[in-house]
Amino acid sequence: MTDVVTIGHILMDMRVLVDEFATPDKEATVYDIKYGAGGSAANTAVGVVRLGRKASVIAKVGMDNFGRLVLEEVMTKGVDISGVKIKVGGDTGFTIVLINSHGEIIMYGYKGVSEELLPEEISRELIEKAKHVHIASLRIDTAVHAARIARELGKKVSWDPGRRIAKMGLEKLSEIIRLSNIVLLNEKEAEEMTGYKDYHEAARAIRKHGAEIVVVKRGEKGVYALAEDCEIELPAYKVKAVDTTGAGDSFAAGLIVSLLDGKELREALEFANATAALKVTRLGAQVIPTRDEVEVFLRQQKKFEEILGDLAKKSIEEG
């Protein structure tokens, strides 16, 4: 039995630390380069395990050095890889991530065989054993097929489209939205999917297509969620960002785990926010905090807020 099955990409991440991003005819200094497993499905699965739950991943890699390395790394981190397909003669996808001194990133992606994961290659058995199915940045025919299986089996489904899929627009994505209990996307993806620059309007447009909950991840500006019975807007925790790669996947892992724990949506969003905040203070897409680290961080933030509240109250009384 597993708690969460993630479906999407496993990729090799090449993280290049630079002083600044180069422009045409200008050279930037490289401080360091590191290799490690990445891809939204792999990142979220690792996050789920780090937060204390069991996870499986369904994806496709090539039978090459990158494929061997990423599978070994993900498996070592406690993720079940029995649902991963391996294509002989295919190339494992990779992402080149440039990270400047401010923690900002530029990404160049080659999907390789990850986009060749076909609907018939989705393991019904793994989905049947899970409590929750998370689909991320995956070709739409396979995503819809996986979501149908999950809903037929009575499983909760979350879907994170990613920028490329979001650009397809609401009408083409209507079925996967309808099949999803939760749609997670960032502010830019929400705009590109719906045509609405205002993320509130975008979330309402997405909900009209059948999703129970729409969550708009706004990075350093916080998070917004819209459900049938509530509308929640939370600020981001203030931290020094080192690497924002995988922050959205960490958020997804935190949200899913917290909801599986039986938490209400607001508390689950706070937990997810804290998970993402801690992640961006570390270099690497899968350097995700543990449950204990997130809970300690939340207690510290609550204590800090109480101190600020007491100081504000005292100031008003004395003023």
Active site residues: 249
Contact, 247 vs 285, CB < 8 A? Answer: no
Q: What is the 3-state secondary structure (H, E, C) of 124-178?
A: HHHHHHCCEEEEECCCHHHHHHHHHHHHHCCCEEEEECHHHHHCCCHHHHHHHHH
CB atoms inside a 10 Å sphere around CB 306: 10
Burial of 206 (0-12, 13-18, 19+ CB in 10 A): buried
Q: Which residue has the tokens 């993402």?
A: 276
